[in-house]
Structure 1
Amino acid sequence: MRVLVTGGAGFIGSHFVRTLLTRGYPGLTVSDVTVLDKLTYAGNRANLAGLDVRFVTGDVADVARVEQVLAGHDAVVHFAAESHVDRSIRESAVVTRTNVLGTQVLLDAAYRHQVTRFLHVSTDEVYGSIAVGSWDERSPVDPRSPYSASKAGSDLLALAYHRTHDLPVLVTRCSNNYGPYQHPEKLIPRFVTNLLDGLPVPLYGDGGNVREWLHVDDHCAGVAAVLAGGRPGEVYHVGGGTELTNRELTGLLLAACDAGWDRVEAVPDRKGHDRRYALDSTKIGTELGWRPRVDFTAGLAETVRWYRDNRTWWEPLR
């Protein structure tokens, strides 16, 4: 299988590529991998250092570039996205162009070149907020931010290409990821790097917003399972199962960095801040045998150690 990975120099995409090329997914046999990445602030060539991968710098919304790069590939794994909510509130046009138009451009090219699998990677944020229980794959989307609205739009476009053109599209929706190589604009690496540098950490509102946490290794294993055996036209949830309020997570990070609550700075809540996300991942477990394997306590400790030991990677990004 010849695979094109968009956004493959980013946090999640690069982890998928590294594991794919080291034969970490027994259900997938690949002959070569191409990474297409625009190398915005969140894309980093260093994330792919030492890997035997064809790298192409380019924008997923660039029709000519995508047409040139996608030709000859059997499958597309589409990670590329503008994914930061605060940034989407400030720069919604940029987010919409990449997430919606970029996905449409890729889908068009995939249809023309008759790819055998098109996996679109999405997020639990498309569902909005849920007070109790959890969403399954039949739950309606109800996005509340420009970011989540753009992802919901791209999901629906991808599924529409399956229904209209019989393009073999698969969609995954995951919970919050954490792990090494995550850009320090995101909550866990931002808090850890701030604490390591003796800086305060910002806590939105009352800190009661609840998120479900998933190690990047488990997420990518879920993506690989869906790519290998998922049913075209279907959505699969890849949820971590560990629910924490932001305040609870802050406490864990403070303890891991030997810091006290005096380092926490209360800041006004984010506009339209969703209160709680929760995914039901029964479907991917029943159909494909996937389940999260990284214990959250161990995974968080390993992540903090990675940032402590790899200042040369994250300091330039700050």
Structure 2
Amino acid sequence: MKRAALALILACMASAHAAETFTVKEIAPGNFVHRGHDDVATRENGGDIANIGFIVGTCCVAVIDTGGMLAEGRALRAAIRARTKLPICYVINTHMHPDHIFGNAAFKQDHPQFVGSFKLAQAEASRADNYMRALNRELGDEAKGSEIIGPTKTIDGTGTLDLGGRTLKLQTWKTAHTNNDLTIYDDKSGTLWLGDLLFVQSIPVIDGSVLGWLDDIPRIKQMNPRHAVPGHGPIDSSWPVALDAEARYLTQLASDVRAAIKQGKTMQQAVDSIVPEQGDTWLLVDQYHRRNVTAAYAELEWEQ
């Protein structure tokens, strides 16, 4: 009983701390973004490492990703309620990664439609056990109540959501960061929410296809939004500059991996020998570059 009471107290303290430190910025009319930490998920940052936020129409609100655990989702909901009493109609997940979805449960009381790519549910289901184990390992008791809530509305290609006086255009993409990437474009403000198709300063992470990502980038550029929200990193940077930097890293990675394969190097030899050019300009290189080499090698090894 004492242990259960202590766990409850700790969970309440974590939730209160998240609410106190949680801030959002209106980057364009009706578009509010919370800037995550440039880090991996830890107990110190509460899994708050992704950029998440919401869009307000005249009839209702759409949430864009919900953070790395229930407490962060609750802090996001509190930030919404501090600005509007309009109903929360949609919770949109840009892809399946834990730092973007584990706050979903904070919005169950609003009975929204949970929206994602048509590939999202299968991707979440196939990794659910691993994600939950990692969440409990990294965040411990603070993660209590966090859960994966799959989509109730899916997008295959393109779709629209009406918030009242504001239409959101949703689009799925070729496998890139993941196989279930989804972007949201607010036509009224010209704001494009890119999820993890755009990393700023933090190194891009491949959990899908390096070649697909490189194919997607020119299509993103053609959309030419007035504002763009990255999945990670500063929200006030020039998106064309950031997208070009991302493309350079991915292009060099593919080139280096192809060269290693041509030289007959094993995957481990490639991982040990390939270092990113201007690696000191990226954050979290040590955590993710070797993983990116592994993913690219597996993809390109049998390339014709």
Q: Would you call these one fold, judging by a TM-score over 0.5? A: no
TM range, smaller chain: 0.3 to 0.5
Larger RCO: Structure 1 or Structure 2 (Cα < 8 Å, ≥ 6 residues apart)? 1
The TM-score, its normalising length taken from structure 1, stands at: 0.32
